[in-house]
């Protein structure tokens, strides 16, 4: 154990240790360190193609690292690890999908997650409780293909939380949702981490809907990363240094807007020394 979690005397839920991932000649990120404590909410930001989804896939054991290691609650991850819940990037389900809403949630319940559904005693009650928890009880028996994007997304959250994971990985779970559904889905995830200590790693393009819940931000760009509180990371001078080009952070009407972000592949040579992080950097963070 090391870092802030150790200082607080708790076992980290997630430990990423010097992780690097190279695709062809391109280094997506390198020497990435991240330690998450129970109940912590970390947002992952960065331009399209910077490797955010790949990071989640690495944590899930679906993507081999070029270097470094990843542990969940102190041990290596394996495919289908029940300690991890995963909300993948949203794709609308086809209208003719024959599953009912409750079937989709049931796929997350132990024993059915990665194989054929094998209902066990108590599963129905668990599925009912999950449907209730995500506000989907009233459409539990409807075909999923006929549900709206927001209704489907609540079910995906229910499925990911079914086995009460220690770590919840969310890949842009709010995209394509209206503001009311963004808030509803955020509230469900936030309640889970407050009530059950689930650590949440949340990939997003827009920090605004979750800004008031986030403990730290991991910002990935051009093979580099920054780690710190929102106040530390979301600053014009900090992001300009990360990108190596002027990037502006504006605050308007309680919202943050980041302007001038270059494409993920058009900046930074990977063998460049990363710029120094300001004095307000969280331990373990660098840029
Ligand atoms: N299976 C794969 N084989 C080769 N390259 C891949 C594969 N999957 C992703 N990539 C590439 O790796 C890079 C990172 O992809 P990734 O999906 O992790 O980015 P991202 O930050 O999640 O992007 P977005 O915000 O658009 O979802 C991209 O350049 C992508 O084209």
Instruction: Tell the residue number behind the tokens 């209902």, with chain if given.
Output: 119
Residue 82 in contact with residue 166, Cβ under 8 Å?
Answer: no
Give the 3-state secondary structure of 144-162. Answer: HHHCCHHHHHHHHHHHHHC
What's the pLDDT score for residue 259?
85
Give the integer Cα–Cα distance in Å for 217 and 212: 12
Give the integer Cα–Cα distance in Å for 115 and 141: 22
Q: What percent of the chain has pLDDT over 70?
A: 84
> What domains appear along the chain, each with residue ranges and CATH number?
3-94+161-259 (3.40.50.300)
What's the pLDDT score for residue 19?
94
Structure ipTM: 0.94
Q: Is the pLDDT of residue 3 over 70?
A: no
List b or e across 231-260, with b for residues whose CB sees 16 or more CB atoms inside 10 angstroms. Answer: ebbbbeebbbbbbbeebebeeeeeeeebee
Q: Is the pLDDT of residue 197 over 90?
A: yes
- The mean pLDDT of 218-237, rounded to a whole number, is 90
Per-residue pLDDT band for 262 (boundaries 50, 70, 90) equals confident
Tens digits of residue pLDDT in 50-70:
899 999 999 999 999 999 999
Tens digits of residue pLDDT in 8-41:
678 999 999 999 999 888 888 889 999 999 999 9
Centroid of ligand 1 to alpha carbon of 54 (angstroms): 6
For ligand 1, say whether the CB of 228 is within 6 Å of any of its atoms.
no
Query: Which residue's alpha carbon is nearest to atom 27 within ligand 1?
Result: 48
For ligand 1, say whether the CB of 49 is within 6 Å of any of its atoms.
yes
Residue 246 in contact with residue 240, Cβ under 8 Å?
Answer: yes
Tens digits of residue pLDDT in 82-116:
899 999 988 888 888 889 999 999 988 864 545 55
**Chain Cα centroid distance, residue 39:** 13
């Amino acid at each position: 154990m090391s870092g802030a979690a150790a200082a607080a005397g708790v076992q980290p839920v997630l430990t990423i240790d010097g992780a690097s991932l190279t695709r062809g000649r391109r280094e997506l990120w390198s020497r990435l360190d991240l330690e998450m404590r129970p109940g912590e909410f970390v947002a992952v930001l960065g331009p399209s193609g910077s490797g955010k989804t790949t990071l989640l896939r690495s944590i899930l054991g679906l993507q081999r690292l070029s270097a470094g290691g990843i542990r969940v609650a102190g041990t290596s991850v394996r495919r289908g690890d029940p300690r991890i819940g995963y909300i993948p990037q949203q794709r609308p389900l086809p209208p003719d999908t024959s599953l009912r809403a409750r079937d989709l949630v049931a796929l997350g319940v132990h024993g059915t997650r990665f194989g054929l559904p094998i209902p066990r005693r108590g599963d129905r009650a668990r599925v009912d409780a999950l449907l209730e928890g995500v506000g989907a009880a009233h459409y539990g028996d409807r075909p999923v293909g006929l549900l709206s994007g927001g209704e489907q997304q609540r079910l995906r959250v229910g499925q990911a939380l079914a086995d009460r994971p220690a770590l919840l990985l969310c890949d842009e779970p709010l995209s394509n949702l209206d503001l009311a559904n963004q808030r509803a889905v955020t509230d469900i995830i936030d309640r889970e981490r407050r009530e059950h200590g689930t650590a949440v790693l949340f990939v997003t393009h827009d920090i605004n809907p979750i800004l008031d819940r986030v403990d730290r931000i991991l910002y990935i760009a051009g093979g580099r990363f920054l780690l710190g509180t929102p106040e530390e990371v979301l600053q014009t001078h900090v992001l300009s240094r990360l990108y190596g080009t002027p990037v502006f952070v504006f605050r308007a009407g309680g919202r943050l807007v980041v302007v001038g972000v270059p494409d993920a592949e058009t900046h930074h040579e990977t063998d460049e020394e990363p710029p120094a992080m300001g004095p307000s950097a969280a331990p373990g963070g660098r840029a």
